[in-house]
Amino acid sequence: MVNAKTTISIGVLFDVKSLRHHGTLFASLAEVNHRDPTINLRPVIATVDISDSFAVSNAMCDLISQDVIVILGITNVSSLSTIQSYSNTFNVPFISIGSTHNYTLSSPFQMFMRPAYMGAVFDVIELYQYRKALYVYDTDEGLMRLQDVFQYINTRELLVDLDVRRVTELGQLADLIQFSKYDDQLILVMILDISKLDIKEIVQYLNKHIVSGARLHLVTVTLDQLLVNNIQPNEDIELNITGFQLVPPDSKQDTETMTIFPDTFQEELMSSSDALISDCIKLIRMAVEMSEQQEWFPRLWSSFPPTFQRTTAKCSNFVVDKKPYGSLFMEYLARVYFYGKTGTVALDDWFKRRNFLLGVYQYRNGNRALKLGVWSPDLGLKIASQVQDKTYTFIVNASRYSNIVPPLLLYKK
């Protein structure tokens, strides 16, 4: 059993653009530390340009040298391989709140809190039976995500003709729309995998520059993008937007029955990144509580018992001990299961999120964003029975569905 006031160091790797998350980090630490005063989680924070591999390397070495038991942080395409290299070499678990890529690959010391949900995007495409779509991305993250997109399409054998384009400014987007091929339903379907371009700016731009009579359906990939309720609608164009939000636990819904309740998009909720940081801290804390009964816990990696062979490796300009308990603590992290600010927090065999729910929201000109339904990786898309015909129109081929269930299909009386 641990002694009173055992201090445990955890590493935090933040990007220079993520300073706004510091408040959430400290608030979450204060909450879990207050619950059990015998264990104190102490953050060791490194703030770097996450796209600079050299800076990330130095930051990882600095954190590892300070005997942190785990590192949580933001990752992107340019930093992930560097982080994986150091994490694997020194047996230090790394919990990423960045995008999840290559979800079928297993990483021994990395876990991903942000779920992979490209299936939700294409279940929406299937719901409306679109056969053509313009896939637009603006970062290398989006480019990497395309691998998951095509893998998902091939696995599901979807008949979707994708025109993939990269844009960096709104003018390019307008040009793409002008020369893109419409779907058979005469609707231009755009899948927006964007993070640098703001969805509000896009909607305002489209309202001003798209020709009268255009019919557009935008499906946003990035979470937290559907805050468009204060946009003045353009009555000359038909604009629908579908977006996603991680669903927190609620007494009216759960992951097993996927019971749905109607509500508007909850703008007062914290961003997905802040919610994921909060859940990361709780995840670490619960793993520590699970492991505190072990005889090695009081020494917690800084003092090795004789039964463990001490090994070292060079990290930057100095030598650092490899963590002999890294694999064991990784197992404790993977066994944690709880309901957090992003819903069910549980990990699969590849240390990726499972059993989570996404709220599927839809916005239409002049209306607030309303919940269309929910999506889970196991049960797919479930439409809210409370969705009214006057707000949404569904075009469904009955022959493709084996079950006659509301609200999409009903027997005519």
pTM equals 0.80
Domains assigned to the chain: 6-89+271-340 (3.40.50.2300), 118-266+357-400 (3.40.50.2300)
Condensed to tens digits (0 to 9), the pLDDT of residues 254-308 reads 444 444 444 444 545 578 889 999 999 999 999 988 887 665 555 554 444 445 4
For the four alpha carbons of 383, 388, 393 and 398, in that order, the dihedral sign comes to positive
Condensed to tens digits (0 to 9), the pLDDT of residues 55-67 reads 999 999 899 888 8
Helix, strand and coil percent figures for the chain, each rounded to 5: 30, 25, 45
* Distance between CA atoms of residues 22 and 213, nearest Å: 46
Strands (E), 52-131: 71-73, 94-96, 110-112
Condensed to tens digits (0 to 9), the pLDDT of residues 196-253 reads 777 777 877 877 777 667 788 889 888 876 655 556 666 777 788 888 888 665 534 4
Strands (E), 49-205: 71-73, 94-96, 110-112, 132-137, 161-166, 188-193
Q: Helices in 183-222 by DSSP H: which ranges?
A: 199-209
Q: Find where tokens 């590493």 sit.
A: 11
Which amino acid does the sequence have at 150?
F
* Distance between CA atoms of residues 125 and 123, nearest Å: 5
> 363 and 267 in contact (C-beta within 8 Å)?
no
* Distance between CA atoms of residues 256 and 281, nearest Å: 26
